[in-house]
Amino acid sequence: MLDEIMKKSKPKNIENAIKKLSEKLGNKKISIKPADLFSYSHDYWLITFHWLLQGKVPAFPDVVVWPESREDVVEIVKIAHEEGVPVYPYGGGSGVLGGAIPEYGGIVVDVKRMRSVQVHEEDLVVEAETGINGHYLEEYLNKRGYTLGQIPQSLYPSTLGGWIATKAIGQFSTKYGGIEDMLLGIEAVIPPGKIVELKPHPRTATGPDLRKLFVGSEGIFGIITKAWLKIWPYPEERFLMSFASETLEDALDSVRRILRRGAKPAVVRIYDKIETKRHFYKFDEMYGKVGTVIIVEGDPKIARTEKEIVEEEFKGKPMGEEPVKHWLETRFIVKEVSEFAPLGVVIDTIEVAVNWSNAAKLYYNVVNAMKSVKGVLFASAHASHFYPQGVCFYFTFAGLPPKNVSATEFYNQVWDKAMKATLESGGTISHHHGIGRHRAKWLAEELDGAYELLKKIKHVIDEKNIINPGNMGV
């Protein structure tokens, strides 16, 4: 009764594979129940929720497996390889680009029952299995006086494995970096069922950095089962600052200068005029301006100096702590899709990165490109992650498809405009959500010759093309 929209094919040997899985793992760890197959037929790619509302799903898997150890994962990958049946790693399902959709049927492997964790305090390292919930991990560290510093907005629903696989980044990234900066060691299972373990060291010069191969791999090379990550002592001091600037350029340039001087505020977020109105309407003096919130934290002495640098460099009226407190209180509230999608409103967010020299140009080009699509009601952005070299813009659009245009067509039109404008303005098509199935069509253009290299690497690791086939278009 639930139609499949994206299903390409059904694996030939699936019955054999299921039989073997049940023999090796026992029936408790696997399911072919309709409710389970339904639950893993999608992730959080937004357009697919318009399909769900109409009783359509992206694609059903044939079986779901919940391994409890890396040995279980080895068995699964072995069986999949032997039988030539696709396998799709699954974490929190909060990925927003369809990266976990079982397009060719087969086995979904949900690693969330693998969630052990342990801290090595002297080394400032945490060791955890990848199914661990993001918030659970951070709370575990906080209780012991540490932080990972990885606080994506999806902290509550997502997993460590998903973070590594999508190259995720948190709101506090300007100080702590993205997941790639935290990752010291990794364990993964690759075809035909082999464990690869790269142990954690402060640094190692042992050939190309193979750990990085799995960062942003989006489940196409293997299943990541464990990771070792850098941690920090929980910050003793925290300063909250906010500013109202006349123009986006003023605010961007302020942050550029702050970072050039070597200060690393943990959180920096610059909202364009629309989003300042949207998020900070309670603060009269910010209304109609470009609002920025900044958090500096860490060792008290260092933090104080960084705070001074921010104050010296920022071009804009200081607005005090309140807007930042407001941001802290509201940063995990996610309601829009629930409230508007059932009424036909198509919403999504698009995050891209660009060097400073092209930053303002890219912002205007992308906003204008999205607005040029008939039916778009608004397009806006904030700059959410910063580097001495440039910035990430996080765009939001919403619209109502015109008559005779389906939600999916409309959605693709807006995305296409945004992606093309990004490439034309010298940006990269993704800063942290990754590629998934949706963005695959623009990846080849961005990677150019390197796209072939990616495909070759994929083929060498996974010659039968069974690990998340179709993801990223490879």
Partner 1 sequence: MPGKWDWLKDEIGFSNLLTGGKMLLKVISGKLSVDDLTKCALCPNMCRHTCPVSIVDGRETTSPAGKARVAFMIREGRLELNLENLEPLYMCLSCNICTLYCPFEFSVADLTRPINEEAVKKGVVFEEFKKVFENLENYGDVYGAKSEEENGKGKVLYIRGCTIRNELPELSEKALSLLKKLGFEVFTINETCCGIPAYNLGNVELFKKLADENAKKINQSKAELVITSCPSCAYAYRVLYPKYGVKLKPKVVHITEILGDRLKGLKAEGEVTYHNPCKLALGLDQKELLKDILNKIEGLTVKEPRKEFFCCGYGGSAISRLNPELAEEIAQERRKQLKDGADKVITACPSCKLALNSDELEVLDIVEFAHQLLGE
Ligand X SMILES: Cc1cc2nc3c(=O)[nH]c(=O)nc-3n(C[C@H](O)[C@H](O)[C@H](O)COP(=O)(O)OP(=O)(O)OC[C@H]3O[C@@H](n4cnc5c(N)ncnc54)[C@H](O)[C@@H]3O)c2cc1C
Whole-angstrom distance, CA of residue 38 vs CA of residue 129: 26
Instruction: Write the CB contacts of 197 (distance below 8 Å, at least 6 apart in sequence).
Output: 185, 186, 187
Taking CA 250 as the corner, what is the angle to CA 244 and CA 252, rounded to the nearest 5 degrees? 100
Least Cβ distance, residue 473 to ligand X (angstroms): 13
Contact 294, 244 (CB under 8 A): no
Copy the structure tokens of residue 243.
Answer: 């500013």
The item of partner 1, ligand X, none sharing an interface with residue 274, based on CB under 5 to 8 Å by kind, is partner 1
**Which residue number, 86 or 401, has a Cβ lying nearer to ligand X?**
86
Residue 422 found at the interface with ligand X (CB under 6 A):
no
**Closest by Cα among 86, 65, 75 to 11:** 86
- What residues numbered 91-110 form the site for partner 1, per CB under 8 A? 92-94, 110
Least Cβ distance, residue 5 to ligand X (angstroms): 18
**Which residue number, 44 or 228, has a Cβ lying nearer to partner 1?**
44
Contact 252, 275 (CB under 8 A): no
The item of partner 1, ligand X, none sharing an interface with residue 432, based on CB under 5 to 8 Å by kind, is ligand X
| Region near partner 1 per CB under 8 A, out of 13-21, 210-218, 224-232, 375-383 | 375-383
Whole-angstrom distance, CA of residue 80 vs CA of residue 25: 13
Residue 119 found at the interface with partner 1 (CB under 8 A):
no
The item of ligand X, partner 1, none sharing an interface with residue 402, based on CB under 5 to 8 Å by kind, is partner 1
User: Residue 25 carries which side chain, given as an amino acid letter?
Assistant: L
Residue 395 found at the interface with ligand X (CB under 6 A):
no
Task: Tell me phi and psi for residue 229, to 5 degrees.
Answer: -130, 150
**Which residue number, 66 or 163, has a Cβ lying nearer to partner 1?**
66
DSSP secondary structure code for residue 365 in this structure:
H
Copy the structure tokens of residue 135.
Answer: 């918030």
**Which residue number, 287 or 451, has a Cβ lying nearer to partner 1?**
287
Least Cβ distance, residue 372 to ligand X (angstroms): 27
- What residues numbered 349-368 form the site for ligand X, per CB under 6 A? none
Pairing of strands 267-271, 376-387: antiparallel
| Region near ligand X per CB under 6 A, out of 4-12, 153-161, 266-274, 396-404 | 153-161
The item of partner 1, ligand X, none sharing an interface with residue 218, based on CB under 5 to 8 Å by kind, is ligand X
How many CB atoms within 10 Å of residue 260?
Answer: 12
* DSSP result, 161-210: HHHHHHT-B-TTHHHH-BHHHHEEEEEEEETTTEEEEE---S---SSS-T
Whole-angstrom distance, CA of residue 46 vs CA of residue 55: 15
Instruction: Write the CB contacts of 72 (distance below 8 Å, at least 6 apart in sequence).
Output: 25, 29, 65
Contact 383, 392 (CB under 8 A): yes
* DSSP result, 205-218: -SSS-THHHHTT-T
Whole-angstrom distance, CA of residue 36 vs CA of residue 102: 13
Least Cβ distance, residue 242 to partner 1 (angstroms): 17
**Which residue number, 293 or 373, has a Cβ lying nearer to ligand X?**
293
From the list 96, 107, 251, 392, which residue makes contact with ligand X (rule: CB under 6 A)?
Answer: 96
Least Cβ distance, residue 90 to ligand X (angstroms): 5
| Region near ligand X per CB under 6 A, out of 216-224, 250-258, 296-304, 308-316 | 216-224
The item of ligand X, partner 1, none sharing an interface with residue 281, based on CB under 5 to 8 Å by kind, is partner 1
Contact 244, 285 (CB under 8 A): yes
Residue 331 found at the interface with partner 1 (CB under 8 A):
no
Question: Which stretches of the chain bind partner 1, using CB under 8 A?
Answer: 1-2, 33-36, 38-40, 44, 49, 52-53, 55, 66, 90, 92-94, 110, 112-113, 115, 131, 133-136, 139-140, 143, 154-157, 274, 277-278, 281-282, 284, 287, 332-335, 337-345, 375, 377-378, 380, 400, 402
Question: Which stretches of the chain bind ligand X, using CB under 6 A?
Answer: 43-44, 88-96, 99-100, 111, 130, 152-154, 158-159, 161-163, 165-166, 168-169, 218-219, 223-224, 334, 432-433, 468, 471
